[in-house]
Amino acid sequence: MPIGPEFIEKTGYEYLEVSDQRQGLLQPPLQLPYDPDAVLVDLPDPEDVQVGAIDLRVAIEDRVSVRKYAPRTLTLSELSYLLWCTQGVKSMEGRHATFRTVPSAGARHALETYLLVNRVQDLRPGLYRFLAIEHKLVEVDVRRGVADAVTRACWGQRFVLESAVTFIWSAVAYRMTWRYGQRGYRYLHLDAGHACQNLYLAASSVGCGACAIAAFMDEELNGVLGLDGEEQFALYVATVGKMP
């Protein structure tokens, strides 16, 4: 049987095992840890960010993938708003769950958001990770060449390098499979779709376009992000930039 149909079959409910949650194992952290000595970047409060008023129907009707961008920068406030729209934490239930601006199976929210920053005001170009609970960024790699490395991993698609910022969503598999077992791998992909669609719609309210990318070399992109490709792995990519 080809791998695709086998994946669908073997993640069906009839194959579900007793989950680690039901066995009483402790749940994994709601957010990956980070080096306490790493550089943190405070993001503006999303409530203070002024965005354009766009009718939802118009935003949906006008939704297109945009691959050409004006050579203008995003403000840090605009980036903060886009991050909040795609993974923003609205409230928390102790250490057990976060409730966010996008849906997730069982409120597991197993995505982490990495950013390739090319042109954002007051932010050094490089690779960052979004700390959704604190609503901050943490530097991952700001060395020269990281943008080229991400672009190469995305099959050399130039609009990655030419974007103002590129979102890279990775999955922390156990955060989902702890509750849902192997079926949880289905839900990881659904969660990425929710986040990316929010990005498309939110981008239009700050004069930006977006383009989702599924064509990337997994091993190479995981290597750039420092992910092992098994417990954590890149799942989806989307570029953002000012409309030309």
61-88 pLDDT, tens digit per residue, is 999 999 999 999 999 999 999 999 999 9
- Check if the beta carbon of residue 89 is closer than 8 Å to that of residue 96: no
Retrieve residue 141's tokens: 């790699």
Greater pLDDT, 52 or 99: 99
C-alpha 183/C-alpha 8 separation (Å) is: 9
- Predicted local distance difference test score (pLDDT) of residue 158: 96
Beta bridge pairs of residue 113 = 169
Domain covering 3-28+40-242 in this structure, CATH number: 3.40.109.10
Q: Residue 227 pLDDT more than 90?
A: yes
Going by pLDDT thresholds of 50, 70 and 90, the confidence category of residue 53 is confident
C-alpha 143/C-alpha 122 separation (Å) is: 17
Domain boundaries, the chain: 3-28+40-242
Name the residue among 72, 1, 57, 50 with its Cα closest to residue 205: 50
- Across 192-220, average pLDDT: 97
Residue the block writes with tokens 């190479």? 220
**Alpha helix stretches (DSSP H) within the chain:** 3-10, 56-61, 76-87, 146-153, 158-162, 173-180, 184-204, 218-225
Task: HSE, CB side, 13 Å, CA atoms: give it for residue 151.
Answer: 16
88-141 pLDDT, tens digit per residue, is 999 999 889 999 999 999 999 999 999 999 999 999 999 999 999 999 999 999
- Predicted local distance difference test score (pLDDT) of residue 101: 97
- Across 36-53, average pLDDT: 91
Going by pLDDT thresholds of 50, 70 and 90, the confidence category of residue 3 is very high
- Predicted local distance difference test score (pLDDT) of residue 193: 98
SS3 21: coil
- Predicted local distance difference test score (pLDDT) of residue 51: 85
C-alpha 25/C-alpha 174 separation (Å) is: 12
Q: Residue 223 pLDDT more than 90?
A: yes
Going by pLDDT thresholds of 50, 70 and 90, the confidence category of residue 241 is very high
